[in-house]
């Protein structure tokens, strides 16, 4: 990513609009100053209803296989990501990016052609209120209020379970983090994650943090339940999709990112696996999740 080396391979990009490629190139610009902003992306030509998009049917299978091939290759190259690698990734992320940028002469050939957009889009983000009352101030443990059910996911020091709030019968997801073997940098990161999630509460397309219980070495993050799996799963389940559908997803994604950036939060791990779906009345809403690498930045050009 940092080297900005990429190509639009014709076997994948044939039949895709020039506007789409232009936006992708602008997003892949290495220099954060010249890279398109989330507002710029929302105002980009590709986002406008005025543009007639090609009717090309994109094969979901081919996209999914590319995605997993890349992951597999990375896995083969670097092996199973250990806890130490996770720490190194954090260190790399937190390193001063400035030195690296100064050593770069220009962006990659493709992205050098296209400068970052500057247009400001007045996309409004409505917030909503919930009547949820936190249980953690009572000092009683998580298990007093919630019953843990099926495991939803696992990674690093954390496991995500479905859980039922005993008194209300409502369902949530709980991210359980065991900090026993965590190094100081990882504890800081967990704090940053909680800070970011609390700060972003009320955003329509960001997963909501309801409550936090800290019990010795175990931290429980009570999160909104998303029942539709990840966007990657959804794409795999589809035979074909179109630029039109992709545009809807991007609109949601860029407004979620814009909400974060307005509050100086950088997510730093945006990918299909971290976009969760919630299906209600045949209507799927998409929310940005996993703020495990998120950071509140001091300077805007760090975003």
User: Site residues (CB under 6 A) for ligand PIT?
Assistant: 152-153, 160, 173, 175, 193, 197, 207, 223-226, 276, 289-292
- Residue pair 210/223 in contact by the 8 Å Cβ criterion: yes
Cα gap 173→171, rounded to integer Å:
7
**Scanning the structure block, which residue is given the tokens 């190139």?**
25
- Residue pair 215/197 in contact by the 8 Å Cβ criterion: no
Q: How far is the CB of 262 from ligand PIT (least distance, A)?
A: 19
- Of 46 and 291, the one with the shorter C-beta distance to ligand PIT is 291
Q: How far is the CB of 162 from ligand PIT (least distance, A)?
A: 7
Cα gap 279→89, rounded to integer Å:
33
Q: For residue 29, what are its two tokens?
A: 């610009």
- Of 28 and 276, the one with the shorter C-beta distance to ligand PIT is 276
- Of 110 and 275, the one with the shorter C-beta distance to ligand PIT is 275
Q: How far is the CB of 210 from ligand PIT (least distance, A)?
A: 11
Q: For residue 119, what are its two tokens?
A: 């247009």
Q: How far is the CB of 291 from ligand PIT (least distance, A)?
A: 4
Q: How far is the CB of 187 from ligand PIT (least distance, A)?
A: 15
**Interhelix angle 83-94/184-199, nearest 10 degrees:** 60
Beta-bridge partner residues of 78: none
User: What does the angle CA 204 – CA 138 – CA 202 come to, to the nearest 5 degrees?
Assistant: 10
Q: How far is the CB of 158 from ligand PIT (least distance, A)?
A: 7
Cα gap 52→55, rounded to integer Å:
9
The DSSP string of 176-223 is EEE-TT--HHHHHHHHHHHHHHHHTTT-TTBPPEEEEEEETTEEEEEE
- Of 6 and 171, the one with the shorter C-beta distance to ligand PIT is 171
- Of 35 and 175, the one with the shorter C-beta distance to ligand PIT is 175
Q: Check residue 66 and report its DSSP letter.
A: H
- Of 115 and 153, the one with the shorter C-beta distance to ligand PIT is 153
Closest residue to ligand PIT in the complex (CB): 173
């Amino acid at each position: 990513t940092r080297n900005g080396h990429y190509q639009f391979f014709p076997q994948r990009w044939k039949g895709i609009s020039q506007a789409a490629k232009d936006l992708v190139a602008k997003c892949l610009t290495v220099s954060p100053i010249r890279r398109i902003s989330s507002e710029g992306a929302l105002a980009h030509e590709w986002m406008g209803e005025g543009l007639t998009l090609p009717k090309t049917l994109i094969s979901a299978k081919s996209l999914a296989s590319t995605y997993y091939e890349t992951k597999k290759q990375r896995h083969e190259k670097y092996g199973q990501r250990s806890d130490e690698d996770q720490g190194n990734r954090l260190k790399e992320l937190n390193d001063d990016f400035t030195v690296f940028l100064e050593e770069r002469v220009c962006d990659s050939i493709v992205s050098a052609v296209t400068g970052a957009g500057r247009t400001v889009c007045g996309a409004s983000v409505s917030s909503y209120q919930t009547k949820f009352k936190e249980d953690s101030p009572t000092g009683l443990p998580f298990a007093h209020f919630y019953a843990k059910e099926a495991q939803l996911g696992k990674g690093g020091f954390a496991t995500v379970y479905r859980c039922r709030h005993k008194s209300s019968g409502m369902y949530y997801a709980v991210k359980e983090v065991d900090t026993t073997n965590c190094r100081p940098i990882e504890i800081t990161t967990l704090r940053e994650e909680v800070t970011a999630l609390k700060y972003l509460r009320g955003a329509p397309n960001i997963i909501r943090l309801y409550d936090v219980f800290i019990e010795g070495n175990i931290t429980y993050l009570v999160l909104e339940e998303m029942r539709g799996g990840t966007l990657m799963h959804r794409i795999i389940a589809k035979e074909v999709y179109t630029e039109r559908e992709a545009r809807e997803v991007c609109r949601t994604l860029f407004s979620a990112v814009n909400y974060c950036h307005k509050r100086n939060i950088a997510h730093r791990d945006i990918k299909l696996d971290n976009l969760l779906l919630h299906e209600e009345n045949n209507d799927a809403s998409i929310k940005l999740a996993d703020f495990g690498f998120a950071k509140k930045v001091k300077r805007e050009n760090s975003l």
